[in-house]
Protein backbone atom coordinates (compact mmCIF):
# COMPACT_ATOMS: atom_id res chain seq x y z
CA UNK A 1 0.00 0.00 0.00
CA UNK A 2 1.32 3.44 -0.87
CA UNK A 3 0.63 6.92 0.42
CA UNK A 4 -1.56 8.08 -2.44
CA UNK A 5 -5.02 9.55 -2.67
CA UNK A 6 -7.46 9.44 -5.54
CA UNK A 7 -8.50 12.92 -6.65
CA UNK A 8 -11.95 13.93 -7.87
CA UNK A 9 -10.55 13.54 -11.40
CA UNK A 10 -9.72 9.87 -10.72
CA UNK A 11 -5.95 10.52 -10.68
CA UNK A 12 -3.75 9.02 -7.94
CA UNK A 13 -1.51 11.60 -6.26
CA UNK A 14 0.76 11.77 -3.22
CA UNK A 15 -1.52 11.68 -0.16
CA UNK A 16 -0.31 15.04 1.20
CA UNK A 17 -2.35 16.69 -1.56
CA UNK A 18 -5.60 15.73 0.15
CA UNK A 19 -8.64 17.29 -1.49
CA UNK A 20 -7.31 20.85 -1.86
CA UNK A 21 -7.48 22.12 -5.46
CA UNK A 22 -4.46 24.42 -5.05
CA UNK A 23 -2.40 21.60 -3.60
CA UNK A 24 -3.42 19.39 -6.57
CA UNK A 25 -2.29 22.07 -9.03
CA UNK A 26 0.98 22.62 -7.16
CA UNK A 27 1.66 18.87 -6.96
CA UNK A 28 0.84 18.28 -10.62
CA UNK A 29 2.58 21.32 -12.12
CA UNK A 30 5.43 22.31 -9.80
CA UNK A 31 6.50 20.02 -6.96
CA UNK A 32 9.42 17.86 -8.02
CA UNK A 33 9.85 19.44 -11.45
CA UNK A 34 13.37 20.74 -12.14
CA UNK A 35 13.57 24.48 -11.51
CA UNK A 36 16.51 26.61 -12.57
CA UNK A 37 17.44 30.28 -12.50
CA UNK A 38 18.70 32.46 -9.68
CA UNK A 39 15.48 34.47 -9.36
CA UNK A 40 13.23 31.41 -9.35
CA UNK A 41 15.43 29.61 -6.83
CA UNK A 42 15.69 32.74 -4.67
CA UNK A 43 11.89 32.80 -4.55
CA UNK A 44 11.75 29.12 -3.55
CA UNK A 45 14.49 29.62 -0.96
CA UNK A 46 12.65 32.62 0.49
CA UNK A 47 9.25 30.94 0.59
CA UNK A 48 10.67 27.75 2.11
CA UNK A 49 12.23 29.96 4.80
CA UNK A 50 8.89 31.64 5.46
CA UNK A 51 7.28 28.19 5.67
CA UNK A 52 9.47 27.12 8.63
CA UNK A 53 7.06 26.25 11.44
CA UNK A 54 3.98 26.62 9.21
CA UNK A 55 2.17 24.47 6.68
CA UNK A 56 3.15 24.78 3.03
CA UNK A 57 -0.45 25.40 2.00
CA UNK A 58 -0.39 28.61 4.09
CA UNK A 59 2.60 29.86 2.09
CA UNK A 60 1.16 28.64 -1.20
CA UNK A 61 -2.05 30.58 -0.63
CA UNK A 62 -0.09 33.70 0.30
CA UNK A 63 2.41 33.31 -2.56
CA UNK A 64 0.71 35.83 -4.89
CA UNK A 65 0.94 38.50 -2.21
CA UNK A 66 4.52 37.52 -1.37
CA UNK A 67 5.37 38.00 -5.05
CA UNK A 68 3.72 41.43 -5.06
CA UNK A 69 5.39 42.82 -1.95
CA UNK A 70 8.79 41.28 -2.69
CA UNK A 71 8.92 42.71 -6.24
CA UNK A 72 8.58 39.34 -7.93
CA UNK A 73 11.59 38.18 -5.90
CA UNK A 74 13.92 40.12 -8.18
CA UNK A 75 17.08 40.01 -6.03
CA UNK A 76 18.32 43.48 -7.01
CA UNK A 77 15.00 45.08 -6.08
CA UNK A 78 14.65 43.22 -2.78
CA UNK A 79 18.30 43.94 -1.92
CA UNK A 80 17.53 47.67 -2.14
CA UNK A 81 14.77 47.47 0.49
CA UNK A 82 15.30 49.80 3.42
CA UNK A 83 13.64 50.49 6.78
CA UNK A 84 10.43 51.86 5.19
CA UNK A 85 10.07 48.71 3.10
CA UNK A 86 10.67 46.55 6.16
CA UNK A 87 7.93 48.42 8.04
CA UNK A 88 5.60 48.09 5.05
CA UNK A 89 6.18 44.34 4.97
CA UNK A 90 5.65 43.98 8.71
CA UNK A 91 2.28 45.72 8.35
CA UNK A 92 1.09 43.54 5.44
CA UNK A 93 -1.40 40.92 6.67
CA UNK A 94 -1.22 39.19 3.28
CA UNK A 95 2.16 37.65 4.08
CA UNK A 96 3.78 35.98 7.08
CA UNK A 97 4.81 38.91 9.25
CA UNK A 98 7.89 37.55 10.96
CA UNK A 99 10.69 40.05 11.56
CA UNK A 100 13.48 37.49 11.32
CA UNK A 101 12.15 35.93 8.11
CA UNK A 102 11.56 39.28 6.41
CA UNK A 103 15.01 40.50 7.41
CA UNK A 104 16.57 37.23 6.22
CA UNK A 105 14.87 37.52 2.82
CA UNK A 106 16.23 41.04 2.31
CA UNK A 107 19.67 40.04 3.60
CA UNK A 108 19.73 36.92 1.39
CA UNK A 109 18.84 39.07 -1.63
CA UNK A 110 21.82 41.31 -0.86
CA UNK A 111 24.09 38.28 -0.71
CA UNK A 112 22.69 36.99 -3.99
CA UNK A 113 23.43 40.29 -5.75
CA UNK A 114 27.09 39.80 -4.83
CA UNK A 115 27.16 36.46 -6.65
CA UNK A 116 27.73 35.95 -10.37
CA UNK A 117 24.70 35.35 -12.59
CA UNK A 118 23.81 31.65 -12.38
CA UNK A 119 25.96 31.05 -9.32
CA UNK A 120 23.08 30.36 -6.92
CA UNK A 121 21.55 27.93 -9.42
CA UNK A 122 24.84 26.08 -9.89
CA UNK A 123 25.56 26.07 -6.17
CA UNK A 124 22.17 24.69 -5.13
CA UNK A 125 22.07 22.08 -7.89
CA UNK A 126 25.58 20.92 -6.95
CA UNK A 127 23.97 19.37 -3.86
CA UNK A 128 21.38 17.36 -5.80
CA UNK A 129 21.90 13.70 -4.99
CA UNK A 130 22.94 11.34 -7.73
CA UNK A 131 19.98 9.87 -9.60
CA UNK A 132 18.92 6.32 -9.00
CA UNK A 133 17.92 6.31 -5.36
CA UNK A 134 14.87 4.15 -4.71
CA UNK A 135 11.49 5.82 -5.03
CA UNK A 136 9.68 6.04 -1.68
CA UNK A 137 6.61 3.85 -1.33
CA UNK A 138 5.36 5.89 1.65
CA UNK A 139 6.10 9.24 3.20
CA UNK A 140 7.54 7.39 6.20
CA UNK A 141 10.50 6.70 3.88
CA UNK A 142 10.99 10.38 3.03
CA UNK A 143 13.61 12.00 5.27
CA UNK A 144 13.34 15.47 6.80
CA UNK A 145 16.96 16.10 5.83
CA UNK A 146 19.76 14.28 4.04
CA UNK A 147 23.55 14.53 3.96
CA UNK A 148 23.15 16.67 0.83
CA UNK A 149 20.68 19.09 2.46
CA UNK A 150 22.93 19.33 5.52
CA UNK A 151 25.91 20.18 3.28
CA UNK A 152 23.86 22.74 1.34
CA UNK A 153 22.75 24.34 4.60
CA UNK A 154 26.30 24.56 5.94
CA UNK A 155 27.59 26.03 2.69
CA UNK A 156 24.88 28.68 2.48
CA UNK A 157 25.25 29.58 6.15
CA UNK A 158 29.00 30.06 5.68
CA UNK A 159 28.15 32.53 2.93
CA UNK A 160 25.84 34.39 5.33
CA UNK A 161 22.44 33.13 4.17
CA UNK A 162 19.76 32.71 6.84
CA UNK A 163 16.70 30.47 7.23
CA UNK A 164 18.48 27.77 5.25
CA UNK A 165 18.52 24.91 7.76
CA UNK A 166 18.85 21.28 6.60
CA UNK A 167 15.09 20.64 6.67
CA UNK A 168 14.38 23.84 4.74
CA UNK A 169 17.04 22.90 2.22
CA UNK A 170 15.56 19.42 1.76
CA UNK A 171 12.11 20.94 1.19
CA UNK A 172 13.73 23.21 -1.42
CA UNK A 173 15.35 20.16 -3.05
CA UNK A 174 11.95 18.46 -3.23
CA UNK A 175 10.03 21.46 -4.53
CA UNK A 176 12.63 22.37 -7.16
CA UNK A 177 13.10 18.85 -8.49
CA UNK A 178 16.58 18.16 -7.15
CA UNK A 179 15.03 15.07 -5.61
CA UNK A 180 11.87 13.25 -6.67
CA UNK A 181 9.85 12.14 -3.68
CA UNK A 182 6.61 11.35 -5.49
CA UNK A 183 5.62 8.04 -3.94
CA UNK A 184 5.06 4.83 -5.86
CA UNK A 185 1.53 4.85 -7.26
CA UNK A 186 1.39 8.61 -7.78
CA UNK A 187 0.83 9.54 -11.43
CA UNK A 188 3.90 11.80 -11.31
CA UNK A 189 6.05 8.87 -10.19
CA UNK A 190 4.64 6.81 -13.02
CA UNK A 191 5.58 9.46 -15.61
CA UNK A 192 9.25 9.50 -14.50
Considering 16, 23, 48, 81, which one is annotated as catalytic? 48
Please tell me the predicted confidence (pLDDT) of residue 2.
62
- Provide DSSP, 67-117: HHHTGGG-HHHHHT--HHHHHHHHT-TTS---HHHHHHHHHHHHHHHTSPT
pLDDT, position 13: 95
Whether 26 sits among the annotated catalytic residues: the reply is yes
Whether residue 192 has pLDDT greater than 80: no
Contact 104, 162 (CB under 8 A): yes
Could you confirm whether 170 is annotated as catalytic? no
pTM over 0.85: yes
74 is catalytic: no
Q: Of the residues 30, 56, 74, 125, which is catalytic?
A: 56
Q: Give how far Cα 141 sits from Cα of 111, 121, 144, 192, Å.
A: 35, 27, 10, 19
Q: Could you read off the pLDDT of 163-180 as tens digits, one per residue?
A: 999 999 999 999 999 999
Kindly indicate the confidence band of residue 132, based on its pLDDT and cuts at 50, 70 and 90.
confident
Q: Residue 188, Cα to own-chain centre: how many angstroms?
A: 18
Mean pLDDT of the residues in the chain: 95
At residue 4, φ and ψ (nearest 5 deg) are -125, 160
Which tens digit of pLDDT belongs to each residue from 141-159? Answer: 999 999 999 999 999 999 9
Amino acid sequence: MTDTTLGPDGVARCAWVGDDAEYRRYHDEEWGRPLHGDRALFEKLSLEGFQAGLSWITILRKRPRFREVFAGFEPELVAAYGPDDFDRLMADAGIVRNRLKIDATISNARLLTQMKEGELDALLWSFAPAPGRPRPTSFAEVPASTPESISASKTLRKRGFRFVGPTTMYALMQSSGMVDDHVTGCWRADEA
